[in-house]
Structure 1
Amino acid sequence: MNEKGKLYLIPTRLGDNPPLEVLPLSIKKIIEQLDDYIVENEKTARRFIKRVVPNKPQPSLRLKVLNKYTQQSELNSFLDPCENGLSMGIISEAGCPAIADPGSDIVSIAHDKNITVVPLVGPSSILLALMSSGMNGQSFAFNGYLPIDKNERKKEIKTLERRSAELNQTQLFIETPYRNNQMLADLVSVLNPNTRICVACDLTLPTEFIKTKPAKDWKNSKEDLHKRPTIFVIQKD
């Protein structure tokens, strides 16, 4: 019986900076070895692989696409190369696979199939924001996207603030980049004036902006967050 291949979780950049400025050499070494990948977008994954290993032949790559349109019934077959002794990689669109990312479904199946899972080191916008916020890193929660409806969103912001105070827990969330400025305005209008807000924007990029201050001090902010990837972090003491 052939030994099963491994499933490597391969982080990517958070922006368009040179890969090896933010990724360790181990990422390059693994990509050099692998031809089978599970990716969110084939075009951007191929571009990333080429940036990391320029001499790798593109025709040799075998990519399966995993995104919100992929049927659950298709997922079991995605790991067939591992079952046949070939190691595979999962590549996210940005940051770490399986963190706020559909890759977690594949990782769960890998465990069920007794396939070894190997997480590789790389940038996670969630952890970088938490690290740099000055807020509680012992207890925290990532809440994904808040509701789009304005009233529902404001209600959820108050719920997260209350949870933060009751549990001494940092709350993190994201917004569609073109609504970032409105999200910050809603936070300022809804939160207690002394509740701390951290805005962590363009992490690892030359335009990186990270600032923590009370809600009341964000009222006259001049920072334009429009269409810039941003993590919002709050904590009420």
Structure 2
Amino acid sequence: MQDEALNNAAGCLYVVATPIGNLDDITARALRVLAEVQLIAAEDTRHSSRLLQHFSISTPLVACHDHNERAQSSSLLQRIEQGANVALISDAGTPLISDPGYHLVAQAHAAGIKVVPVPGVSAAITALSAAGLPCDRFAFEGFLPAKEGARQKYLQRLTQESRTMIFYEAPHRVLGSVRAMAEVFGGERQAVLARELTKTFETIKRASLADLAQWIGADTNQQRGECVLLVKGVDTKAATDEISVDTQSILKLLCNELPLKKAAAMTAQITGVRKNLLYQWGLDNLASS
């Protein structure tokens, strides 16, 4: 079935998903759209030209990436308003998902231009489908901050997240991020490293954060390629049950003399309850008392 918009006089913007590794994952509709539009806006034209050459598609390419997207958008929208159909693609997967394209799509809507999604692969959903973690509700967090302090603070804000969390991570930072997650969420929390999805060396490893950090640290091959990290959310009922009335009393008494962070650390040593859980309980229950 042909896309109606391709046959209309008015142009439109297609947001086209491309493979994250295995080229066979591209859809027939994506191939047709990429072949029939007048222009393709690509994150990296050199990278995308190889994809187009593989499928014998000769549509012209123009660069649209993080550094030029705002400036490039006006030119692309002008082409569409003049009747051209334009496809937006990223280097791999679905555009805008931790990739460029937000400003172009937002401005297209503001200008009254029709935006048409052409769905396909997304690394986040691909990883979630094979992770074996709860997937009825999940939170996509994208890339963590690169600096250690900022990363730690970001993870601290997620200590009470009950949904499965999905992160993208650069290979040279994946070990540090898993270690930080083990420290903040607790080493026993279940997690998954999904690496090089759909490619030759695809790896999906499910383990506790502590074991996952040890496994990655022992094998430098696991610190290469495209990485998705998934972490099981906190069991809110179990977490609440874990802090007994006696434990709450100890924390309250220590908070009378110490800052909450130090009081939580000392209470953890006394009771064996996780420090981060105690700290969050204190924020939720003692801040206003």
Whole-angstrom distance in 1 between the partners of 2:17 and 2:222: 24
Q: Could you tell which deviates more after superposition, 187-196 or 116-125? A: 187-196
For residues 67 and 101 of structure 2, the distance between their equivalents in structure 1, rounded to whole angstroms, comes to 13
Deviation at 1:83, TM superposition (A): 0.8
Is 1:29–2:32 an aligned residue pair? yes
- Show structure 2 runs of 5+ residues with no match: 1-7, 236-289
Runs (4 or more) in structure 1 with deviation over 4 Å come to none
Change (3 A) 1:211 1:227: closer
- Post-superposition offset of 1:100: 1.4
SS at match of 1:198: strand
- Match status 1:214 vs 2:220: no
Normalising to structure 2: TM-score of the pair?
0.70
Q: Counterparts of 2:156 and 2:190 in 1: how far apart (Å)?
A: 13
CA–CA distance in structure 2, aligned partners of residues 113 and 4 of structure 1: 13
Whether the aligned pair in 2 keeps the contact of 1:163 and 1:169 (CA below 8 Å) is: no
1:205 — aligned with what?
Answer: 199
CA drift of 1:218 comes to 2.3
For the residue of structure 2 that corresponds to 1:81, the secondary structure is helix
Which residue is equivalent to 1:79? 77
* Contact 1:36 1:81 survives alignment (8 Å): no
Structure 1: distance between partners of 2:71 and 2:25: 35
Structure 2 counterpart SS, 1:205: coil
In 2, Cα distance between the equivalents of 1:71 and 1:210? 34
Return the alpha-carbon distance in structure 2 between the equivalents of residues 109 and 71 of structure 1. 11
TM-score for the superposition, normalised by structure 1: 0.84
Of residues 167, 170, 176, the one that matches 2:164 is 170
Query: Is residue 44 of structure 1 aligned with residue 47 of structure 2?
Result: yes
**Aligned match of 1:229 in 226, 229, 242?**
226
Q: In 2, Cα distance between the equivalents of 1:199 and 1:72?
A: 34
Do residues 12 (structure 1) and 39 (structure 2) align? Answer: no
Deviation, 1:147, is 2.1
* 2-structure distance, mates of 1:69, 1:4: 29
Q: Is the 8 A contact 1:188 1:218 kept in 2?
A: no
Greater RCO between the two (CA within 8 Å, min separation 6)?
A: 1
Measured on the aligned residues, the alpha-carbon RMSD in Å equals 2.1
Question: Residue 108 of structure 1: which of 106, 112, 127 is its match?
Answer: 106
Cα 1:79/1:196, change in 2 over 3 Å: same
- Which of 146, 149, 155 is the aligned partner of 2:147? 149
**Structure 2 CA distance for aligned equivalents of residues 144 and 163 of structure 1:** 18
Shift of 1:175: 1.9
Structure 1 unaligned spans of 5+: none
Structure number having the greater helix percentage: 2
For 1:95, the equivalent position in structure 2 comes to: 93
Q: For residue 160 of structure 2, give the secondary structure of its aligned residue in structure 1.
A: helix
Q: Which residue of 2 aligns with 1:194?
A: 188
Change over 3 Å in CA distance of 1:144–1:48 after alignment to 2: same
The residue identity in structure 2 corresponding to 1:129 is A
Deviation, 1:37, is 1.4
| Residue aligned with 1:225, SS | helix
